[in-house]
């Protein structure tokens, strides 16, 4: 894109042209009312009569004063922004400029000066070049703004509309960064420095506030420096783009904003990783006990089975059910029932080994996946869990004390077999049924290393 300071030479507004315009300045100035009316008529012909005033202050004077330096460029730039904000298309702007040329030809004919006509046409030609530059910049900025808006909608639709409690402050940090960036786009186009959502310093923006309050602790140590440098670079490039606009160097804006966008992507990638990590953790974690939930079982089962096959381990399942739990909810209420489940979760965590994966299956049911070198592993784990619960006394806030028991179905499954996951789980669940049928507060264990000839066996 051509530097705006070079447009004067492109339009060939030489000294003789300027002198010719200056010579007829006063008679041209008398045509201001006529010029304004002609432009308003053109506005009406384009179907834009309901739009704001068509011309900015001093626009006509800037066209005829014979001095075409920074002031003229600034007025023409503001005039173009005015048309852009009023909703005029690039084609409509060019039609208006054509109408201006026709008016100037009439004025020059009236003054019997072909040289004046030529000079004024050159002035309008310079204006056309500025309009082209501004609309090109605006189009690029609109594309970047549209992308930011799309990202905001995507984040809200993906994470804010679910029942999962992904950190709202983290999501807000991501959205606030996108809003800040859109403000930077608008300010860079308009050559202004003030906006509600724009803070020039990387230490004062809403993302910086989030970093100070909690965000920096969430970012992995290996990414912190990379993130902070990218965030500072985003602000520096935005400030440079706005400064270029204020100095009428609009041809540099897009390059700076594109570099800013790339730095912003580095910032957003880190934030998205944090959001997705929290989302996955929330989606796969039971909010009451902190254990993995039923949704995570399939994935972890497949991983454990694959490991057991590679290293010749037994895959063990323990299915747990709290005995007579419904009367606790009925007598003490669901809130106290949740307190009991949390206490059970603490007991299970203390008894289980680090490698044992505990899932809350739903209600008062739990499942444990573990690996062992011997087929008795699931039986031994189930018995440790049963004994730990049996000896515990559960005390409610009102002083009432309660003893609980659990029933466990334990399965030691040889991983060399190829039964479907559903079938393996059903085998463990059958053992739980037997434990409850045989009187509860006990375990029932089965070693499964041979597929029976008859399916019912």
DSSP per residue, 357-384: EEEEEETTEEEEEEEESSTTHHHHHHHH
Asked if 321 and 407 count as a contact pair (C-beta separation under 8 A), the reply is yes
Asked if 31 and 111 count as a contact pair (C-beta separation under 8 A), the reply is no
pLDDT bin (cut points 50, 70, 90) of residue 14 is low
On the 0-12 / 13-18 / 19+ scale of CB atoms within 10 A, 261 is middle
Q: What is the pLDDT of residues 271-302, one digit of tens each?
A: 999 988 887 777 788 888 989 998 889 889 99
Asked if 260 and 243 count as a contact pair (C-beta separation under 8 A), the reply is no
Whole-number average pLDDT of the chain? 86
Asked if 320 and 366 count as a contact pair (C-beta separation under 8 A), the reply is yes
Beta strand 357-362 pairing with 292-293: parallel
Catalytic site residues? Answer: 364
Beta strand 393-395 pairing with 365-372: unpaired
What is d(CA 406, CA 394) in angstroms, rounded to the nearest whole number?
Answer: 14
What is d(CA 141, CA 253) in angstroms, rounded to the nearest whole number?
Answer: 9
* CB atoms closer than 10 angstroms to residue 25: 12
Q: What is the mean pLDDT of residues 150-165?
A: 70
The residue behind tokens 């902190």 is: 290
The residue behind tokens 């208006």 is: 96
- Which residues lie across from 320 on neighbouring strands? 366, 408
Beta strand 406-414 pairing with 443-448: parallel
Q: Output helix, strand, coil percentages for the chain, rounded to the nearest 5.
A: 65, 10, 25
Residues 6+ apart with CB under 8 A from 48: 54, 86, 87, 88, 92
Q: What is the mean pLDDT of residues 49-73?
A: 76
Nearest to 197 by CA among 170, 216, 169, 178: 178
- From residue 410, alpha-carbon distances to 373, 405, 443 in Å are 15, 16, 7
Strands (E), 178-266: none
Rounded to a whole number of angstroms, the distance between the first and last alpha carbons of the chain is 81
Q: What is the pLDDT of residues 369-410, one digit of tens each?
A: 999 999 999 999 999 999 999 999 998 777 778 899 999 999
* Fold classified for 4-136: Globin-like (1.10.490)
Domain 292-448 falls under CATH 3.30.70.270: yes
Q: What pLDDT is attached to residue 398?
A: 75
Asked if 41 and 49 count as a contact pair (C-beta separation under 8 A), the reply is no
pLDDT bin (cut points 50, 70, 90) of residue 12 is very low
Q: What is the pLDDT of residues 96-138, one digit of tens each?
A: 999 999 999 999 999 999 999 988 888 888 888 889 888 888 8
pTM of the model: 0.62
The residue behind tokens 């949390």 is: 342
The residue behind tokens 């008859």 is: 454
Q: Where are the alpha helices (DSSP H) in 247-373?
A: 253-283, 294-311, 326-332, 334-351
Q: What is the pLDDT of residues 64-76, one digit of tens each?
A: 887 666 677 778 8
Q: What is the pLDDT of residues 174-207, one digit of tens each?
A: 999 999 999 999 898 877 777 777 999 999 999 9
Residues 6+ apart with CB under 8 A from 160: 168, 171
**Phi, then psi, of 143 in degrees rounded to 5:** -65, -40
Q: What pLDDT is attached to residue 51?
A: 62
Highest mean pLDDT among 45-54, 160-169, 181-190: 181-190
């Amino acid at each position: 894109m051509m530097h705006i300071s070079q447009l004067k030479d492109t339009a060939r507004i030489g000294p003789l042209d300027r002198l010719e315009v200056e010579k007829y300045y006063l008679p041209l100035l008398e045509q201001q009312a006529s010029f304004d009316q002609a432009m308003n008529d053109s506005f009406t012909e384009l179907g834009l009569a309901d739009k704001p005033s068509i011309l900015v202050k001093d626009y006509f004077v800037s066209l005829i004063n014979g001095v075409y330096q920074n002031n003229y460029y600034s007025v023409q730039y503001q005039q173009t922004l005015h048309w852009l904000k009023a909703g005029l298309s690039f084609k409509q702007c060019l039609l208006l400029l054509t109408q201006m040329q026709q008016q100037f030809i009439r004025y020059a004919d009236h003054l019997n000066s072909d040289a004046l006509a030529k000079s004024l046409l050159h002035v309008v030609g310079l204006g056309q070049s500025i309009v082209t530059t501004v609309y090109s910049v605006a189009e690029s900025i609109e594309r970047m703004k549209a992308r930011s808006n799309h990202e905001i909608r995507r984040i809200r639709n993906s994470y804010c509309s679910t029942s999962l409690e992904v950190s709202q402050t983290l999501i807000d940090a991501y959205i606030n960064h996108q809003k800040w960036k859109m403000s930077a786009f608008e300010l860079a186009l308009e050559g202004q420095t003030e906006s509600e959502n724009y803070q020039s310093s990387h230490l004062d923006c809403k993302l910086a506030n989030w970093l100070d309050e909690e965000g920096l602790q969430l970012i992995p140590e290996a990414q912190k420096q990379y993130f902070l440098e990218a965030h500072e670079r985003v602000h520096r490039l935005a400030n440079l783009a706005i400064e270029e606009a204020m100095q009428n160097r609009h041809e540099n804006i897009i390059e700076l904003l594109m570099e800013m966008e790339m730095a912003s992507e580095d910032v957003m990638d880190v934030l998205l990783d944090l959001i997705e990590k929290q989302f996955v953790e929330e989606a796969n974690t039971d909010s009451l006990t902190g254990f993995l939930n039923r949704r995570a079982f399939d994935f972890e089962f497949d991983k454990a089975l694959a490991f057991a096959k590679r290293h010749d381990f037994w895959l063990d399942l323990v299915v747990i059910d709290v005995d007579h739990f419904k009367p606790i909810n009925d007598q003490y209420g669901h809130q106290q029932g949740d307190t009991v489940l949390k206490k059970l979760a603490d007991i299970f965590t203390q008894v289980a080994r680090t490698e044992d994966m505990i899932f809350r299956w739903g209600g008062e049911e739990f499942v444990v996946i573990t690996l062992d070198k011997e087929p008795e592993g699931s039986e031994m784990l189930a018995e440790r869990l049963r004994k730990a619960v049996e000896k515990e006394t559960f005390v409610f806030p009102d002083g009432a004390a309660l003893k609980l028991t659990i029933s466990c179905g334990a399965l030691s499954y040889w991983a060399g077999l190829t039964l479907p996951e559903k079938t393996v789980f059903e085998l463990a669940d059958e053992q739980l049924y037997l434990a409850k049928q045989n009187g509860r507060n006990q375990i029932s264990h089965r070693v499964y290393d041979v597929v029976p000839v008859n399916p019912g066996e």
